[in-house]
Copies of this chain bind each other. A is one copy, B any other.
């Protein structure tokens, strides 16, 4: 049976995923905003639009004949503080909601370089079935039933990538960035656990793996935004220079709010939120981070 798949969104990631699904033998159609909702039955819809657009796009797609939604957007909805799968459930309450996330630059995937990601569904059976359908020798998909954990890792790492970029933009060195990333992972983990994610998910490809990629990489828009800020550019000009949506800049504030709601200590996320949303100067934020008392290293 050839499965008919709709890919909503045709940015770099949407195009890469459409290409992957085609190579996997699916019949792939694509959709972008402004087009009509395609008729007929689909086995699944891959949603590769910016996180803050997911609700609107799914609302448009509410009439689509499809009960499997694979979310490839990474972020937390502003205002509602909802994770992507929670947003999707509002629109498709009876649908099977899956989350695809992990360390994967669209360019690497498009070039056929080896990539490994995680696909989560409420039921391991669904996750494993779709992982099987979409996996290829160079694009390995691991199944998980921790939907929240996979969604959270992908969202929070973007905020931390801005911090890594700032550190590099300021020329603080590789040792500083490694320490910052490790401490950032501890923050991601604290909030994730408080919000019901599983520890092993946060340490896996979609948590730690994606964090490493985004915090280290010149291909990341979040890292690049931070790099420009660290180099002394104003927030306005750094945002203007970004190509496409910088998810981390949109997630920083809501992540900071969630840290408060769940009463977890997230000084790096607070610093990024302060820089993006309150006009805090990077030098001041860094000085405050370095000024925290030295004591026992606790997670």
Contacts and interface: CB of A to CB of B under 8 A. Distances in A.
A288 interface: no
A11 B142 CA distance: 43
A105 B175 CA distance: 6
Given A102-B179, A115-B179, A179-B115, A295 B142 contact: yes
Contact of A174 (B105, B124, B172, B176): B105
B204 A103 contact: no
A273 to B, nearest CB: 21
Contacts of A141: 294
A173 interface: yes
Contact of A213 (B178, B183, B204): B178
A182 B103 contact: yes
Chain A interface residue count: which class? 35 or more
B299 A108 contact: no
Contacts of A278: none
B176 A113 contact: yes
A173 B299 contact: no
A173 B111 contact: yes
Contact of A103 (B103, B132, B135, B178): B178
A298 interface: yes
Interface in A44-93: none
**From A142, A189, A201, residue with most partner B Cβ within 10 Å:** A142
A183 B203 CA distance: 9
A212 B172 contact: no
Interface in A144-180: 144, 171-179
Contact of A295 (B143, B178, B205, B209): B143
What 3 A-B pairs are tightest by C-beta distance, nearest first? Answer: A182-B209, A142-B297, A178-B213
Given A143-B297, A181-B209, A186-B204, 11 more contacts: A105-B175, A108-B176, A111-B173, A114-B290, A124-B296, A132-B294, A137-B290, A140-B290, A178-B209, A182-B203, A203-B299
